Structure 1
Amino acid sequence: MVFVFLRPEELQVVAVGLFIIGGVVALVSLTGCTGAALEKRFLLLVYFGFLIALVLGQLYVTVLLLLNRDTINSSLTQTVNNIISRYGNSSRRSDIIMDNIQHYTNCCGINGPDDWLKNSFIQTLNLTSLNVLPCSCFLSFQPSINSSWCLETNNTNEPVSGTGNGIFNEGCGQKINQWLQENFITIVAMAAFLILIQIFDLFIAGSLFRMFGQKDALKKNKRLVGEDDADSDSDSEPDPDGGEQNYAFMDPDEGAPEPNYMTAGDANNMADQYNQNQNQEYQEPFHYNQNQNQGFQEPLHFNQNQGYHGYQVASQRY
């Protein structure tokens, strides 16, 4: 059911408004998708805030409609009565709205054609019968160029040149209430469905926001643990070469080591081995000869010129 048909310039304004609203919704949706894809918590926060505002706004409007149905009907009736009383003397836009409502819903006035007796122009005509009405109240009519009023029969004595046939006897208020009753459940169901979808989007956005935060915290902790391990390893492991260059870690500025290069650790090991060999060469352990009953035998002292000369038997016998 169509109530109001707007002029082309008015339709253009409505189209621009809808385009702006659609652009804002698309931009916010793109923000949410980008934040989820790139794991950007700030973008998800912007998307989350917009969804909260949208859900709260829709809830407010829905509850307002449910609680103020009677107030809305009475306000709408009062608005239409004001349009009827000023019809022909007020703005052309309100007249077009009223004509479209009556013509496309096949109604006349709020409760019927008699409501037009409240019109200021009709009251100046002193009519004996209500046969002058807006042309939109007739089933078929032929309006005049300079007036939106029509006469039910062709009477040239009346100050109205338009003619019409078949007055709508049903009031527009009843038509409007009938349309609201038929579509009220549908409107509320659609609003509730949209709110549920947006609440689900809020849950998804909040879960992603929390998950990305935990992921960032875990990465930060891993970096800190890795830095601590690197510092402890560098402090606990001594340098076996005393800071000198070796084959495993060569200083690129000093070039390759010499062929006969020896580290400090290797030099210390070689010195210890040499000392052990010297001790074994210059001293022999004591031996006890049980078979010969010669007691302890001790080696002779080493003569650098003659070497070892054998064993000297101890003078004491056992």
Structure 2
Amino acid sequence: MAARVCNLVIKFLLFLTNIILWLLGVVILAIGIYVQVETGFSDLSLGSVLTSPAIVLIIIGAVLFVVGFCGCFGALLELFPLLLIYAIILSIILLAEVGVVVYAFVQSREFSATFESLLENYIVNYYNDVNLRNLVDRIQGQLLLCCGVTGPNDWQANAYFNCSSPAFQRCSVPFSCCELTDGEVINVQCGYGTLDTSNPDSMLGIYQIGCLSTVEGLFSNNLYVVGGVGVGLLVFQILNILLASGLAVDVYRENKEIKAIKKQDKQEKKAHKQREQGKEKV
């Protein structure tokens, strides 16, 4: 009786957490697909996986959808295959997260260089994807208040903003790099000519610090908060893996017992039938 109550509690916890996860995956997946459809699939390529926010949302949404679906319906219907898939996928994700964290600490320079290279790729592809452009502008102008990866001059890597470009945006930075006072209306041309070294005052009015330094500063200043969130996520995943594994083992045992009972009943019916046939012959 106690074991059955324990299983019901586990089923409820798994169902509750994973129905939320599943619905979240559905929402993120829908948003990603909608944004990608609005943008179009004509320029979609393998290299756009990391540079397109829509593709990233689709991948994250799909993973959450599959994990939430397997955990939710596996617990609700006590389906051993779904519970097994859920535990395996969650374990793989957990190992991947631990691997990334360990790599970031052990190979901090290489990790920082990889992250910096990814951000530089965003700068290069700024005009190639409208969703990426909106994301970069939101990060620079609203979230982090920064410009470029290490500084404004990083925008020289973009073919349009480079000073050797024939485009009218040459020697410029995006408008999201401009410092704004409260209530000031955004001027999309405020970054024009700011990379022109012939004018010593050209960079006045734009953010001088790069986004990489800002992110590193946020992590160092909120190290305990980041660590707490990471540990909480780790505990949540481990707990769900243990609950799903325990429920899967119980379901497997119950299914095995049911099969054994059915097999025994079948054998007894067969033996009984043989006895009846023997009596009839006599």
Q: State the TM-score, normalized to the length of structure 2.
A: 0.55
Greater RCO, 1 or 2 (C-alpha within 8 Å, sep 6+): 2
2:128 is aligned, of 91, 101, 105, to 91
> Aligned-pair distance for 1:168?
1.7
Report whether the alignment pairs 1:138 with 2:175: no
CA RMSD of aligned residues (A): 4.2
Q: Which has the larger radius of gyration?
A: 1
1:28 is aligned, of 70, 82, 99, to 70
Map residues 1-318 of structure 1 onto 2, 5 A cutoff: 9-10=35-36, 20-21=62-63, 23-25=65-67, 27-29=69-71, 31-33=73-75, 35-36=77-78, 43-44=79-80, 46-69=81-104, 70=108, 71-84=110-123, 86=124, 91-93=128-130, 94-104=132-142, 105-116=144-155, 121-124=161-164, 132-140=172-180, 141-144=186-189, 149-151=191-193, 166-180=205-219, 182=222, 184-185=226-227, 186-225=229-268, 227-228=270-271
Q: Classify 1:149/1:222 alpha carbon distance in 2 versus 1 (closer, same or farther; 3 Å).
A: same
> Aligned-pair distance for 1:30?
5.6
State the one-letter code of the partner of 2:256: G
Q: Classify 1:196/1:178 alpha carbon distance in 2 versus 1 (closer, same or farther; 3 Å).
A: farther
What is the alpha-carbon distance in structure 1 between the residues aligned to residue 172 and residue 277 of structure 2?
A: 104
* 1:214-270: CA deviation from partner (whole Å, max 9, x where unpaired): 23313432443465467558868999xxxxxxxxxxxxxxxxxxxxxxxxxxxxxxx
> Aligned-pair distance for 1:175?
1.6
> Aligned-pair distance for 1:57?
1.9
The answer to whether the 8 Å contact 1:58/1:195 transfers is no
Q: Classify 1:23/1:106 alpha carbon distance in 2 versus 1 (closer, same or farther; 3 Å).
A: closer
The answer to whether the 8 Å contact 1:113/1:171 transfers is yes
> Aligned-pair distance for 1:92?
4.5
> Aligned-pair distance for 1:65?
1.1
Match of 2:192, SS state, is strand
> Aligned-pair distance for 1:170?
2.2
What is the alpha-carbon distance in structure 2 between the residues aligned to residue 238 and residue 78 of structure 1?
A: 88
What is the alpha-carbon distance in structure 2 between the residues aligned to residue 225 and residue 92 of structure 1?
A: 70
> Aligned-pair distance for 1:23?
4.9
> Aligned-pair distance for 1:174?
1.5
* 1:157-192: CA deviation from partner (whole Å, max 9, x where unpaired): x9xxxx997322222111222345546421353144
> Aligned-pair distance for 1:99?
2.7
The answer to whether the 8 Å contact 1:138/1:164 transfers is no
What is the alpha-carbon distance in structure 1 between the residues aligned to residue 92 and residue 280 of structure 2?
A: 65
Q: Classify 1:30/1:139 alpha carbon distance in 2 versus 1 (closer, same or farther; 3 Å).
A: closer
- More helix by percentage: 2
> Aligned-pair distance for 1:211?
2.2
Q: State the TM-score, normalized to the length of structure 1.
A: 0.50
Q: Classify 1:149/1:169 alpha carbon distance in 2 versus 1 (closer, same or farther; 3 Å).
A: closer
> Aligned-pair distance for 1:66?
1.6
State the one-letter code of the partner of 1:174: S
What is the alpha-carbon distance in structure 2 between the residues aligned to residue 63 and residue 35 of structure 1?
A: 31
The answer to whether the 8 Å contact 1:29/1:47 transfers is yes
Q: Aligned pair count?
A: 208
Match of 1:111, SS state, is coil
